[in-house]
Amino acid sequence: MSQSTAQTIESIRSIDQSVLASIRSLQTEEDPNVVVELIEIYLADSVGRLAEIRRAVSLENRQVIQRAAHGLRGSSGNLGASALASLCMDLEHISDLAGAPQLLFQIETEYESVRTELELEITNDKARV
């Protein structure tokens, strides 16, 4: 793979690999699966948060939107999903709820990319151990 191809692939990724590398540096022989464990927790938790955001958007419940978007923003950022975290921050601070459904669509689209990449990370990390 050429350097420009590698750079292009890296630029379209939803996950910042340097964040996962930092987490991997915390792994020990006694606990070699820190990244896998954190990703699995994130994936399980994010499904509920997205459902909560969907319900809150449909009910136009600003308080629940803000709380759930804030939670998803933090956990996404912790795993290097900065584009998703940024979209969640936009939803968290949205002034006109009429724009919330479109922003939710963008969040769900980006989440699917994040989920796909994280599932691949799980597969790759399990193969390394």
Residue type, 120: L
Confidence (pLDDT) at 28: 86
pTM of the model: 0.87
Is 111 a residue whose pLDDT tops 60? yes
14-71 pLDDT tens trace: 999 999 999 999 888 888 889 999 999 999 999 999 999 999 999 999 999 999 999 9
Rounded Cα distance between 77 and 39, Å, is: 12
For the domain covering 3-128, report its CATH number.
Answer: 1.20.120.160
Domain ranges of the chain: 3-128
Share of the chain above pLDDT 70, in %: 90
Distance of CA 41 to the CA centre of its chain: 12
Is 125 a residue whose pLDDT tops 90? no
